[in-house]
Amino acid sequence: MLNFKKFLLAGSAVVALVATQTGAQAGGFALREQSAVGLGNAFAGAAASGSGLASMFWNPATMTDYAGIQSSLSLFAIMPVSTITPTGGYLPTAVGNTGTGDMALDAVVPAGYASYQLNESVWLGLSINTPFGLATKDPYAWSGQIYGRTSKVSSINATPTLGYRFNDQFSVAAGVQIMQFKVRLTSANDGLLSASPTARTGELKGDDTAFGFTLGATYKPFVGTELGVGYRSKVTPKLSGTLLTPGGIPTTAASAGVPASNSPYDIRSDLTLPDQVTVGLRQTITNDFTLLAGFEWTHWSTFGRFPVYISSGALNGSLANTLYFDYRNAWYASLGGEYKVNKNWTARAGLGFERSPITDTTRSVRLPDADRTWVSIGTTYAVDDQMSFDVSYAHLFAKNGKINVVPGNPSLAYTVGPTALTFNADTKGRVDIFAIGMNFKLGAEPKKVTNKAAMVTK
């Protein structure tokens, strides 16, 4: 019972840290920043314990690599730079060729984990994360303001997990995702004056608590070799919230619009957040050097088009607008390594490439994301057998992109009349990420597995 109380204390520390989360921009708007250890090797081998205890985010079965009661806390400082420079279309001509400057907001994102080995075969775990986040803010008066002024997506995801180790080679685990998801989007919305620098702001916001699951397995065919595969399911928030339209909603290809209102409409909209599969390899090359490799596939094509309906009053059931995304499936591949300098210090580095779910056809002013390359370094200092600290840094080189809101693009808006509010622009971006982490091993181990070489006991 004493050990279980210590596990609850470790879990409480995780909750207290992650409750302060703030959304941030990432590939699509999913956040890979879940482990300070993993950041240092570009998240290579994350599904095979390459990200320490935090690997349970990608593959919950990896927690069976950690004996006794353990916890891990990570804190990320994410500093993106993203700019939109208009190049043509009706809007720059009508309201002036005004770009955004740096529209991406800095953020602090925590992540936390705790695991408890009940006996030789069974583990309990808890992770609390921010799997999705976005925060961009454009100038109040800029060329593309009718398509976006402020965008914020935030989430908190708690995942209790249960793992089972069949033998020294094979383990499985499953978990339940409990996600609080929030959205707030604003844009210029003032009827015929929507393109004016002084246009009033419309706002859509909503939230929901939704559920999903995680699955994972690890296989160790030889001592020093670990293969892992993990799955994170779709989560389908049923948003409820409000829609403010001070100037009415411009007619689009799929919506007849809604009358202007200075009072918010109650609205609802069903979203589908993507599922994800991650595979990883952790291979010991020498006593001091370990090779890591990973591949992650995200089912972003499920994030397509989502109608927004009025949910009360005389217009109950009417289509208010449609949120257009039309993302493509995306993937991320990485290669990294760890070198044990001495009994206290471990160094790591990694390289990754991310295929964005967003293309020149679907890129919006809210999230001008593009393919990116990750370069990472990091280190861990072990104070003793029970405590260690991590420090990592990554730079993301983003490919330049284009925004093309033109005929054929379903999000193209019109004024009352035939004038299409076309918008063309170039985008540029980069990201710097710093992370620190703390890892604790609490109390005595209930029972070690027989193959010590297959365990991570740091």
Question: What is the sign, positive or negative, of the torsion defined by CA atoms of 41, 42, 43, 44?
Answer: negative
User: pTM of the predicted model, to two decimals?
Assistant: 0.89
pLDDT of residue 421: 86
Q: What is the DSSP letter of 420?
A: B
Q: For the chain, how many helices (H) and strands (E)?
A: 3, 20
How far apart are alpha carbons 56 and 44 in whole angstroms?
14
103, two tokens: 């529209």
CB 310 within 8 A of CB 320: yes
pLDDT in tens, 376-398: 999 999 999 899 999 999 999 99
307, two tokens: 């109608």
2-454: CATH topology = Porin (2.40.160)
CB atoms within 10 A of CB 254: 13
CB 390 within 8 A of CB 379: yes
The residues that bridge with 124 in the sheet, in sequence order, are: 116, 162
pLDDT of residue 17: 43
118, two tokens: 């009940």
Sequential pLDDT tens for the chain (458 residues): 445 444 444 444 444 444 444 444 345 799 999 999 999 999 999 999 999 999 999 999 999 999 999 999 999 999 999 999 999 988 887 677 888 999 999 999 999 999 999 999 999 999 999 999 989 998 888 989 989 999 999 999 999 999 999 999 999 999 999 999 999 999 988 777 777 778 889 999 999 999 999 999 999 999 999 999 999 999 999 999 999 988 765 444 334 456 666 778 999 999 999 999 999 999 999 999 999 999 999 999 999 999 999 998 888 999 988 898 999 999 999 999 999 999 999 999 999 999 999 998 889 899 889 999 999 999 999 999 899 999 999 999 999 999 999 887 878 877 545 678 889 999 999 999 999 999 999 855 544 444 444 444 44
CB 247 within 8 A of CB 262: no
pLDDT of residue 184: 95
At position 126, the amino acid (one-letter code) is L
Question: What is the sign, positive or negative, of the torsion defined by CA atoms of 399, 326, 432, 373?
Answer: negative
pLDDT of residue 458: 41
pLDDT of residue 248: 61
pLDDT of residue 255: 44
pLDDT of residue 314: 85
Rounded to the nearest integer, the mean pLDDT of the chain is 87
pLDDT of residue 321: 86
pLDDT of residue 408: 79
Half-sphere exposure of 288 (CA within 13 A, CB side): 9
